Structure 1
Amino acid sequence: MQRIRLRYTKRGRLRFTSHRDFQRAFERALRRAEVPMAYSAGFTPHPKVSYANAAPTGTGSEAEYLEIQLTEAREPDTLRALLDESLPAGLDITEAVEARTSGLADRLQASVWEIRLDGVEPVEASTAVVTFLAAETVEVERRTKNGLRTFDTRGAVARLEASAPAADRPGDGACAILRLVVRHVTPAVRPDDVLSGLRATADLAPPVPAAVTRLAQGLLDEETGTVTDPLAPDREAVPAAPPMAVGLTAATGVPPTRGGAPEGSA
């Protein structure tokens, strides 16, 4: 089997698709692109697709990951183009690499998020960030399927900064941009949990819903608070050489003789 790892996006209106919606769209794309998928055993076989740490519904993302298993080898970039053509605009396959290492999910240690706060002055956001980071713990409540749960958001935040929008992304009125790095912990701390923490510690309450986008996810460098590309180890790994039968010559596959020539040759 060949394993291919894909990076894909959720952009524009497609950020409102649920993970189940994406699964259905992706499986249709696999059929349209005629990908030679491996299937599970049992009464209801399904394509072998492993999804990793999907973004919450309603958030955009530039860095979602999954892995597929094939029964026949395919060139990764050709496969990427075929799948991208078979998906709706906004669900875009941006990268494909052959899996040459193990543990992709283990490398997704943290996410880089961008939160756009329309109606909030950058100075106000910066003050709130300083207050949040100065706190030892920032507890918030969130309703889960098991009921109301209280957990600390401060411990999950490795980095948090506030700034004004970039010059090429102007808006009408006040606007602040938060850039944060959040560790993948249990229970998961989401960007809206951090916003709840900013409201609790500094009374930061945007007048309109925030626009949230995941920019990256991968291994976390604790010293710098940066996140590295999780597909880099696969790109850098040397492909394994095909096995060669013991006792056969590399050129002909014929057992060598004492004189160096195959038996029966002139």
Structure 2
Amino acid sequence: MSRQPPEQQAPPVQRLRIRYAKRGRLRFTSHRDFSRAFERAIFRARIPMAYSSGFNPHPRISYAGAAPTGSASEAEYLEIGLAQMVDTADIHAALDESLPEGLDVLEVVDAAELGKGGLADLLIASRWLIDTRAPADELSAAVVRFLAEPSVAVERMTKKGLREFDCRAAVVSLSIADTEASPVAGAGVDGPAQLDLVLRHGVPSVRPDDVLTGLCALTGLELSGPALLTRLSQGPLDEETGTVGDPLAR
């Protein structure tokens, strides 16, 4: 007996782009754990999702540019497809209520109100704050030396084994962070300093901890403990100014 073809699902009638944050202990949430938590939140919030076709339909959710496990972020993005038109404010409230504290919805925008281009295509670079717990004077000298190098090789274990790559090429800018404007308490001119890093996305993907590894290996800088990584923004890159823009800007 021949197997019947699966029912074809209707295409989404509305697409929403969502910015969310990973804060506090939830920074240790892996991308897989978050996707499960998000799908449960969608179910609890009774959001009218569109589904894919096939024998195992799944809700139309597209993730892009997820931060590494262990890092906090104020700029994570995803897109969902819906089976009926909804008010973005209602979706914002429903999702924020359904997600656990620390996974916080910051903005919901109708993709039809934005310019052309997929969400992933807009996520060109990220700006990171790295709490190094290193003395400011030593860190400043290390940054100067790092930026003077044409390339800095690092190794990282990947799914395909140990891989060596250049972490310097992806660095758009690297400097000591403005401690007065820093969201991380306890940093100061005479104490532990923070790095303000803008990284270009690419292949291979260079992470902020790769840059820190290369910085320490090159200069002999020693850290008193693990660095705290926070993504402040993610989006299009202004090549002239080196600043990261807003992918949800209308």
Whether the TM-score (by the shorter chain) exceeds 0.5 is yes
1:141-220 → structure 2 map (5 Å cutoff)? 141-163=155-177, 165-166=179-180, 169-170=185-186, 174-220=191-237
1:21 corresponds to: 33
CA shift digits 1:213-250 (9 cap, x unpaired) = 00001111122110000011xxx3xxxxxxxxxxxxxx
> How far is the alpha carbon of 1:8 from its aligned partner?
0.3
> How far is the alpha carbon of 1:164 from its aligned partner?
6.2
1:80 corresponds to: 92
Give the letter for the 2:126 counterpart: S
Give the letter for the 2:40 counterpart: R
1:57 aligns with 2:69: yes
CA shift digits 1:41-80 (9 cap, x unpaired) = 1121110000001000000000000000001101112111
Runs of 4+ aligned structure 1 residues displaced above 4 Å come to none
- 1:24 and 1:92 map into 2 onto residues whose CA distance is 15
Determine which of 226, 230, 234 is the counterpart of 2:247: 230
- 2:24 and 2:77 map into 1 onto residues whose CA distance is 18
Gaps of at least 5 residues in structure 2 are 1-12
> How far is the alpha carbon of 1:205 from its aligned partner?
2.2
1:251 corresponds to: none
SS in structure 2 opposite 1:201?
Answer: helix
- 1:185 and 1:45 map into 2 onto residues whose CA distance is 31
1:5 aligns with 2:17: yes
1:89 corresponds to: 101
1:242-253 → structure 2 map (5 Å cutoff)? none
> How far is the alpha carbon of 1:166 from its aligned partner?
2.9
CA shift digits 1:20-53 (9 cap, x unpaired) = 1101110011011100000111121110000001
RMSD: 1.5
CA shift digits 1:151-182 (9 cap, x unpaired) = 10111000000146337722598311000000
1:116 corresponds to: 131
> In the alignment, is the contact (CA less than 8 A) between 2:187 and 2:193 conserved in 1?
no
Determine which of 141, 166, 179 is the counterpart of 1:127: 141
Larger Rg: 1
> In the alignment, is the contact (CA less than 8 A) between 1:164 and 1:175 conserved in 2?
no
- 2:196 and 2:83 map into 1 onto residues whose CA distance is 41
- 1:29 and 1:47 map into 2 onto residues whose CA distance is 12
TM-score w.r.t. structure 1 length? 0.84
Give the letter for the 2:144 counterpart: V
SS in structure 2 opposite 1:44?
Answer: coil
> How far is the alpha carbon of 1:102 from its aligned partner?
2.9
1:136 aligns with 2:134: no
SS in structure 2 opposite 1:221?
Answer: coil
- 1:75 and 1:65 map into 2 onto residues whose CA distance is 19
Identity among equivalent pairs (%): 59
- 2:86 and 2:26 map into 1 onto residues whose CA distance is 28
> In the alignment, is the contact (CA less than 8 A) between 1:165 and 1:177 conserved in 2?
yes
- 2:239 and 2:178 map into 1 onto residues whose CA distance is 26
Gaps of at least 5 residues in structure 1 are 237-266
> How far is the alpha carbon of 1:202 from its aligned partner?
1.1
Q: In terms of mean alpha carbon deviation, does 206-215 or 156-165 score higher?
A: 156-165
